[in-house]
Amino acid sequence: MTIFQFVASSFAFFMMYVVSIHFKKRNLSAAETSFWVTTWTVFVVMALFPNLLLGVVDVLRFGRVFDLLVVIAFMVVSSMVFINYFSHKELSAKLERYVRAQAFAELATTTKRKPRRKPAPAVGTRKRVTRKRR
Amino acid sequence: MAHRSQFTAARRDRLTAASVWVVVPAYNEATYLSRVLKKITAVTKHVIVVDDGSRDKTATIARRFTDQVLVHAVNLGKGAAMKTGCDWAFTQLGAKAVVLLDGDDQHDPRLLPEFVQLLGGKARLVCGVRVLSQMPLLRRVGNETASILIWLLFGQYIKDIPSGYKALTKKAYQQLRWQSSGYEVEMEIAARAARSRIPVSAVNIPTIYHDTNKGMTMLDVLKMISQVFSWRITI
């Protein structure tokens, strides 16, 4: 075993431990936990037995197994950045709409002004705002 | 009182006294807000303060001057606070126009009638323009760069884009309704105004800085620049 294989497999085992913690805290469901454990197990196998990938390397015409792994890693990282960017954007918009709806509802209650129409629609908050006004 | 009568007379044609609201976005402005609101209420009683999740007594101070105080539970940013105030004014208070004014006493509310007077004419968006030569050098450079960038990308030269003293009609707001929640909002308004060819006018306002440590940082400027290029495609 080379140092690189040792570091890579240690990292994968550490990540499995992190997954198990999140499973215990119920941040991850059983299905999600299985997915991540499988992913890191495959990572360990590939780190310890890179020759298993030689067939794929030949088919895709990569020079080395390492090149294939770099390309896969790059694809995974960029797709995760992309997903996180949109998820963050969506959450920010939802938070903004929710906070605005709350501010409107609070002022409508304190000034006892009957709002002319519903405040800006807030995803997932419409019911709550209506209930407060009553 | 003289200012108030001027304010009313300025909008005789299209905008009635009850139809113009002043929106003041404020975040941790306990030091200056009282002074600002005192000056505004000498001109008009139609004031909305949006407390953007302040940790100080901003909301308490604001309630002494107006009952229209909207409080964000968390800090969302200047753009979001401005949008909250405008949404409330146009949808709940029946406003036909709003004047946006910062809560840090950088803007003189005695100039409100001039803004409203221009809105009563052809202009749909009126921007307060400060004297560039009186600004700190770095801000002056950033200010000019913003105007040039908007001119290059959107074809209209708008002076003093970062100025928070602005007035806009309901129709203009419907066209300009921004997405930015932070300081980049001023740039987005300029970009949208240039893009939709909204008639823009300017009012010369004095250059006042009380606290140069507050407001936009270099990070905000960088974010703004990156956003401008994306707005060129998306707006």
Q: What pLDDT score does B173 carry?
A: 94
Asked if the C-beta of A65 comes within 8 angstroms of chain B's C-beta atoms, the answer is no
Identify the weakest region by mean pLDDT among A109-113, B71-75, B85-89: A109-113
Q: What pLDDT score does A129 carry?
A: 46
Other C-beta atoms lying within 10 Å of the C-beta of residue B131: 11
User: What's the whole-number mean pLDDT along residues B64-89?
Assistant: 94
Share of chain B above pLDDT 90, in %: 47
Best of B50, B91, B173, B230 to disrupt the A interface (most A CBs within 10 Å) is B91
**Closest B-chain CA to A105:** B70
Asked if the C-beta of A103 comes within 8 angstroms of chain B's C-beta atoms, the answer is yes
Best of B49, B69, B86, B92 to disrupt the A interface (most A CBs within 10 Å) is B92
Q: What pLDDT score does B5 carry?
A: 53
A117: phi then psi, degrees, rounded to nearest 5: -150, 170
Closest residue by Cα to residue A109 from B67, B98, B56: B67
Q: What pLDDT score does A134 carry?
A: 44
Contact B92 A104 (CB under 8 A): yes
CB B53 within 8 A of CB A103: no
Distance from CA of A26 to the nearest CA of B (A): 27
For B110-119, write each residue's pLDDT tens digit.
Answer: 999 889 888 8
Distance from CA of A78 to the nearest CA of B (A): 19
Q: What pLDDT score does A124 carry?
A: 45
Closest residue by Cα to residue B98 from B35, B229, B189: B189
Q: What pLDDT score does B128 carry?
A: 92
**Closest B-chain CA to A107:** B70
Q: List b or e across B51-82, with b for residues whose CB sees 16 or more CB atoms inside 10 angstroms.
A: bbbbeeebbebbbebbebbbbbeebbbbbbbb
Tell me which H or E stretch contains B185: helix B185-195
Q: What is the DSSP letter of B202?
A: E
Confidence grade of residue B223 (pLDDT, cut at 50, 70, 90): confident
B124: which strand partners? none
User: What's the whole-number mean pLDDT along residues B118-131?
Assistant: 88
Share of chain B above pLDDT 70, in %: 89
Confidence grade of residue B12 (pLDDT, cut at 50, 70, 90): very low
Confidence grade of residue B213 (pLDDT, cut at 50, 70, 90): low
d(CA B195, CA B15) in angstroms, rounded, equals: 26
For B130-169, write each residue's pLDDT tens digit.
Answer: 887 777 787 788 888 888 989 999 988 988 888 889 999 9
For the record, the structure tokens of B110 come out as 């005695």
- Helix ranges (DSSP H) in B100-136: 112-120
Residue window 38-57, chain B: list those with CB within 8 Å of chain A. Answer: 50, 53
Q: Which residues of A touch B53 (CB under 8 A)?
A: 99
Q: Is the pLDDT of residue B232 over 90?
A: no
Q: What pLDDT score does B126 carry?
A: 93
For B31-43, write each residue's pLDDT tens digit.
Answer: 999 999 999 999 8
Q: Which residues of A touch B68 (CB under 8 A)?
A: 107, 111
Contact B84 A116 (CB under 8 A): no
Distance from CA of B177 to the nearest CA of A (A): 13
CB B100 within 8 A of CB B47: no
Other C-beta atoms lying within 10 Å of the C-beta of residue A39: 14
Closest residue by Cα to residue B25 from A73, A81, A103, A86: A103
Round the CA-based radius of gyration of chain B to a whole number and report it. Answer: 16
Asked if the C-beta of B76 comes within 8 angstroms of chain A's C-beta atoms, the answer is yes
Q: Which residues of A touch B84 (CB under 8 A)?
A: 100, 103-104
Q: What pLDDT score does B143 carry?
A: 83
Contact B84 A115 (CB under 8 A): no
Asked if the C-beta of B230 comes within 8 angstroms of chain A's C-beta atoms, the answer is no
Single-letter amino acid, residue B22: V
Bigger pLDDT: B227 vs A17: A17
Distance from CA of A102 to the nearest CA of B (A): 8
Residues with pLDDT less than 70, chain A: 112-134
For the record, the structure tokens of B46 come out as 């139609």
Q: Which residues of A touch B76 (CB under 8 A)?
A: 95-96, 99
Confidence grade of residue B209 (pLDDT, cut at 50, 70, 90): confident
Mean pLDDT (chain B, rounded): 86
Q: What pLDDT score does A118 carry?
A: 55
Q: Which residues of A touch B88 (CB under 8 A)?
A: 104, 107
